[in-house]
Amino acid sequence: MNRDINIKKTRLNCFRQSKVPGVFMLQMRVPGGMVDAKYLEMIEHISKTWGDGNFHFGTRQTFDICGIKYDSIPQVNEYIEDYICGVDAELCNVDMNKIAGEPREWDPKSGYPTIGARNITACIGNYHCICGNINTFELARKIENLIFPSHYHIKINIVGCPNDCNKAHLCDFGIIGCAKIEYHPERCVGCGLCAKKCEHGATRVLSLNPKTGKIDKDPCCCVGCAECVKACPTSAWTREPTDFYKVIIGGRTGRQTPRLGKMFLNWATEETVLSVLANWQKFSAWVMDYKPEYLHGGHLIDRAGYKKFKEIMLDGVTLNPECLVAEDVFWAETEYRSNYNVKPLETHHAAGPQKA
Ligand code: SF4
Ligand code: SF4
Ligand code: SF4
């Protein structure tokens, strides 16, 4: 039977259209990719009662439940009230009665109010990973209430260290946890392990001084990965107690102009990052003249230009003294559409030993 379905409305409600008319997939937010395991029972219940019995881990770390019929959406919405209130309202302190900061009454039985700001993803960070410099999902929870609910589209990926397992360079805002590291020469036994580690796994900024038996550091381009801290057997390298972040902007995948993001801020503290992100709604509203449309955050930056983006995002922000801000940002995504780097096979240079 044919029937009218307002696809835009169901989409805003976080039910995504499938190839089968009238069948939808619910996407449930999991800020930072971490929630209490008790919610898995709810996922199972939704999936077995209204869905097709399966669920998919969304690429943005959402719980995706497929096979939900259009007529079941109101019941599913009613059922997920506890989830939305428990995860977004309580865990992340989200004011569900606002959209992009503007008052808007939310009926808790009506499901998600917007889909605009996408789920914030995060690697496991220092909750488990030996490389992690920061608690990634706690940061995600603090950011959630700055960007959600909102009709403005933004994708944020957080990682615990510059290894960037969660691809901070491929989203609108990538946040990379870094450490400022301190050297305690009195503890150093001159084994050189940190220099080797930095050379093989990072930026080659450390060297063992044969005269002093201590480590010299070129401070130019340490990325704050703390691999040297991990390598040192005597704790001669330690992380400063303050967490620092790099903020990468404007990365994306996609059919048209995929590109890696570029660094906007380096050595920003959490307070700085949160104050900057608090300006995202204002920036998006300005770019779109207060009329939200489906446009990725990176495209908003392109539309405004980096200089204007920087002006609005830094408005009223007190940067921590260590924080560096990119003077300008230059993109190279036109390479993709022009096939700039794709040479015909016959012009490729052969690798390995060549025949005489
Ligand atoms: S990005 Fe760093 S902290 Fe996160 S999982 Fe990868 S190695 Fe671990
Ligand atoms: S933090 Fe990373 S880049 Fe910096 S000195 Fe240590 S290993 Fe090298
Ligand atoms: S690993 Fe530690 S002890 Fe060894 S050279 Fe580096 S700082 Fe010194």
The Cα 137–Cα 46 span in angstroms is 25
Residues paired with residue 177 on neighbouring β-strands, in sequence order: 245
Q: Give 185-225 pLDDT, tens digit per residue.
A: 999 999 999 999 999 999 999 999 999 999 999 988 899 99
CA angle 70-75-76, nearest 5°?
80
> If you take atom 6 of ligand 1, which residue's CA is the nearest one?
165
Residues paired with residue 206 on neighbouring β-strands, in sequence order: 217
Tell me how far the alpha carbon of residue 239 is from its chain's centroid. 23
pLDDT at 355: 72
Stretches where the chain sits below pLDDT 50 are none
> If you take atom 8 of ligand 3, which residue's CA is the nearest one?
188
The pTM (predicted TM-score) of the whole model is 0.93
For the CA of 237, the closest atom of ligand 3 is 7
R_g (Cα) of the chain, nearest Å: 24
For the chain, which domains are there? 1-115 (3.30.70), 118-184+236-338 (3.30.413.10), 185-235 (3.30.70.20)
Sign of CA dihedral 327, 333, 334, 335: positive
Q: Which ligand is nearest to the CA of 178?
A: 2
pLDDT at 338: 63
Q: Which tokens is 159 given?
A: 């990682």
The reply to whether ligand 3 has any atom less than 6 angstroms from the CB of 206 is no
For the CA of 206, the closest atom of ligand 3 is 6
